[in-house]
């Protein structure tokens, strides 16, 4: 089978410099969703017809299995498929999809392919309560005889509720013949792909039809409002799948998955959480409200409290993170670790049962087991040109308001007094601190405000 994906349109109503098919849905370009569905059908060839946006489209989508055909100028859907013909296997049927119709499913396409077989023209149709703007399916009894575009239809034809989605499959040799005979004698002065239906009927070829499980599969994107509407449909699908798997969602309408989310048993997710890239949540993990988690693995029983941002990190079992914590790429937390409010970590490994509960920054740091890091602690890992590591060994205690100037090591069981600026290694099991001697100035008086001058 050949698959042709039409992706050349400008999308004027998007009011954007970004090509329409590259606008994101659930974190991926619209076209990427359609390509993924096409690949699931295991076709022999996938050809994408591009135009508006030029090389930006193939550069963004990529893929060695994809072939590209430029449509310039853009003279309609029929003209677009003509550009793909040199790339097609004439002995295999051709399925035509659209780069701005991202919700179409492989199950629906499989039904269409089945009814079309190898020698029929297959159309995907749908009945709409308001079919305005769509091409109408005109039948003679049960037999499809033609498709009439809305702008070219009379009142009787516009009353028809069954519409053409544009998605079709046809024997490639016949499709090429029909496309060669297309005319642009219509209101838009374009070459309509839908005119091949009348050509097939004229040739005596049977026109079969199939319908999607849900009409939303056929919805296209022509404006930012439509894009937002499809986003909610897509997210609603995902939320339903997650709940079917046993995930407890506080509000299915307030969830955004922009990638892949894999959950164990008894996972709970509060409202307004965003998951990007590949995220794994272990059994019994709980995610508080308003969290953003990207490319991260979270272990069983871990708690992520509200307003926490986690990127490219690994969280151990029964860890507790947040609220208002930020874990940057390269952070690895062991079992039963605690990272509290307004703590930021980057490229830091913290072993089991260690904790940094308040107002700290740990960058390029290795923290051993059972370490306590006091409020206001920072590792000074960057000298303006290079970055250095800090090592804090097992059972160390770091007092509040401590600065560790890397590269530096805190030995096993060492204690750093509050307010210390550590510039040399601290020995094991010793108290290390750096402070000026506390003094009291007996003669000092608090300044008084001067009386205001009279005018």
Active site (catalytic) residues: 358
Distance of CA 385 to the CA centre of its chain: 34
As a whole number of angstroms, the distance between CA 111 and CA 103 comes to 16
As a whole number of angstroms, the distance between CA 55 and CA 68 comes to 10
Using DSSP bridges, classify how beta strands 390-392 and 365-367 pair: parallel, antiparallel or unpaired: parallel
Strands (E), 316-402: 320-321, 326-327, 332-333, 338-341, 344-346, 349-350, 355-358, 361-363, 365-367, 372-373, 378-380, 390-392, 397-398
C-alpha gyration radius of the chain: 31
Q: At 410, phi and psi to the nearest 5?
A: -105, 120
As a whole number of angstroms, the distance between CA 144 and CA 146 comes to 6
As a whole number of angstroms, the distance between CA 406 and CA 390 comes to 5
As a whole number of angstroms, the distance between CA 62 and CA 153 comes to 40
């Amino acid at each position: 089978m050949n698959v042709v994906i039409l992706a050349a349109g400008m999308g004027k109503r998007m009011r954007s410099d970004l090509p329409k098919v590259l606008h994101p849905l659930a974190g991926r370009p619209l076209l990427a969703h359609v390509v993924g569905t096409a690949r699931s059908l295991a076709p022999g060839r996938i050809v994408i017809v591009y135009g508006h946006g030029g090389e930006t489209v193939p550069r963004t989508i990529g893929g060695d299995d994809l072939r590209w055909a430029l449509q310039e100028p853009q003279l309609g859907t029929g003209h677009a498929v003509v550009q793909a013909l040199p790339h097609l296997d004439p002995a295999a049927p051709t399925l035509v999809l659209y780069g701005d119709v991202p919700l179409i499913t492989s199950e629906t396409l499989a039904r269409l392919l089945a009814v079309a077989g190898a020698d029929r023209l297959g159309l995907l149709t749908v009945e709409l309560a308001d079919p305005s703007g769509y091409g109408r399916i005109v039948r003679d009894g049960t037999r499809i005889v033609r498709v009439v575009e809305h702008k070219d239809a009379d009142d009787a034809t516009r009353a028809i509720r069954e519409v053409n989605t544009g998605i079709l499959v046809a024997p490639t040799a016949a499709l090429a013949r029909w496309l060669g005979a297309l005319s642009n004698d219509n209101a838009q002065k374009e070459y309509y792909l839908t005119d091949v239906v009348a050509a097939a009927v004229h040739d005596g070829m049977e026109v079969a039809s199939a319908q999607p499980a849900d009409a939303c599969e056929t919805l296209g994107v022509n404006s930012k409002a439509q894009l937002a509407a499809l986003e909610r449909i897509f997210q609603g699908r995902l939320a339903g799948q997650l709940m079917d798997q046993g995930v407890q969602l506080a509000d299915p309408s307030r969830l955004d998955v922009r990638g892949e989310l894999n959950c164990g048993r008894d996972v709970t997710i509060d409202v307004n959480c965003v998951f990007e890239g590949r995220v794994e949540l272990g059994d019994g993990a709980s995610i508080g409200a308003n969290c953003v988690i990207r490319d991260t693995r979270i272990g069983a029983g871990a708690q992520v409290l509200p307003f926490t941002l986690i990127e490219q990190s690994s969280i151990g079992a029964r860890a507790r993170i947040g609220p208002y914590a930020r874990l940057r790429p390269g952070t690895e937390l062991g079992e039963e670790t605690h990272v509290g409010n307004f703590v930021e970590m980057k490229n830091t490994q913290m072993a089991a049962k260690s904790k940094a509960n308040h107002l700290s920054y740990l960058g390029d740091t290795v923290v051993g087991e059972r370490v306590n890091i006091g409020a206001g602690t920072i590792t000074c890992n960057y000298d303006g040109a290079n970055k250095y590591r800090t090592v804090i060994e097992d059972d160390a205690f770091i007092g509040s308001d401590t600065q560790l100037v890397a590269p530096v090591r805190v030995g096993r069981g060492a204690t750093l007094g509050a307010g210390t600026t550590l510039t040399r290694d601290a020995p094991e099991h010793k108290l290390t601190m750096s402070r000026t001697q506390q003094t009291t100035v007996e003669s000092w008086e608090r300044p008084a405000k001067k009386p205001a001058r009279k005018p």
